[in-house]
């Protein structure tokens, strides 16, 4: 049997096309409880609005793996590790995307790194997405996915209660507290056509993946965090947004979204778990101070 060299996948690239959706933009705004958009002009997508397009799991049912994601071994490398998480993104915003624009996304596998961690083998795959709108580069998104070994955790099929609320953290310029529930997770999965079972299938996520409950999407938390920043800086234009997932969050838990300015046009953001630990660490830079 020929041994697979994962590095053979580095540099692979493909391009997809879509149309910026006013309906998806409106539904995301509803999810985020934003002010309704005026119909007098086309909607400008939320800075992370490209995540509502180019759905990875938009394939026939027989092309999905046991976890609900598209099977590996096609464009994505056959890593051989069954548990997958969105580890973070480094985003640059070059131009806004407006509803009805023609979108093009070129995805390149930038690197594949295998490591040994405290929980076993890990594999990090970095994808570089370059999204253009009407032929103009709009967003560059370096997206890191981490794959992990199967868990040997005992059966946790009984519902585990969410972790208790923690006090509002001090030392931040602003804090907003949110509590994503199962309905929000379902809506975000539907909006992004994400069929990863950890977000809606309780027996699977507890018995197979070993989590205590449904996992809140990393990109959903990152979206809530950036939205909270924008509601506190309504005149700011986002230039970059980097975030890194450090620990999972679960449906029904209170999350503190916090931010503070660290330099001119530079802000530190965190999504803080009920135990007070950082679930997502992020940095935003803006073109206005």
Domain of 82 in residue numbering reads as: 6-286
3-state SS string for 99-131: CCCEEEEEEEEEEEEEEEECCEEEEEEEEEEEE
Q: Is 241 part of any domain?
A: yes
Q: Is 235 part of any domain?
A: yes
Give the count of domains, the chain. Answer: 1
Q: Is 1 part of any domain?
A: no
Q: Is 150 part of any domain?
A: yes
Closest CA to 262 of 234, 237, 239, 282: 282
pLDDT in tens, the chain (289 residues): 567 899 999 999 999 999 999 999 999 999 999 877 666 677 899 999 999 999 989 999 999 999 999 998 889 999 989 999 999 999 999 999 999 999 999 999 999 999 987 778 999 999 999 999 999 999 999 999 999 998 865 544 455 677 899 999 999 999 999 999 999 999 999 999 999 999 999 999 999 998 999 999 999 999 999 999 999 999 899 999 999 999 999 999 999 999 999 999 999 999 999 999 999 999 999 986 4
Q: At 223, which CATH number?
A: 3.10.129.10
């Amino acid at each position: 049997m020929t041994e697979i060299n994962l590095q053979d996948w580095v540099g692979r690239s493909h391009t997809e096309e879509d149309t910026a959706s006013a309906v998806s933009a409106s539904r995301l705004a509803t999810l985020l409880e934003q002010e309704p958009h005026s119909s007098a002009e086309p909607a400008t997508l939320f800075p992370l609005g490209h995540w509502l397009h180019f759905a990875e799991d938009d394939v026939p049912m027989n092309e999905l793996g046991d976890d609900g994601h598209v099977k590996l071994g096609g464009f994505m490398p056959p890593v051989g590790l069954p548990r997958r998480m969105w580890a973070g993104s480094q985003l640059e915003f070059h131009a806004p995307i407006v509803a009805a624009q023609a979108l093009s996304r070129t995805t390149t596998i930038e690197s594949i790194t295998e490591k040994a961690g405290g929980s076993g083998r890990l594999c990090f795959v970095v994808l570089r997405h370059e999204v253009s709108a009407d032929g103009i580069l709009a967003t560059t998104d370096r997206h890191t996915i981490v794959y992990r070994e199967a868990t040997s955790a005992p059966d946790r099929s009984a519902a585990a209660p969410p972790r208790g609320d923690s006090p509002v953290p001090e030392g931040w310029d602003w804090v907003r507290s949110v509590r994503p529930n199962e309905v929000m997770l379902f809506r975000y999965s539907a909006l992004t056509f994400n069929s990863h079972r950890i977000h809606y299938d309780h027996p699977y996520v507890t018995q197979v993946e070993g989590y205590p409950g449904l996992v809140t999407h990393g990109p959903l938390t990152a979206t809530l965090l950036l939205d909270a920043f924008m509601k506190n800086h309504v005149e700011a234009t986002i230039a970059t947004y980097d975030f890194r997932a450090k620990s999972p969050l679960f449906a029904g838990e209170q999350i503190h979204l916090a931010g503070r300015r660290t330099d001119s046009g530079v802000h530190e953001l965190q999504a803080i778990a009920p135990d007070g630990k950082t679930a997502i660490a992020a940095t935003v830079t803006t073109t206005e101070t």
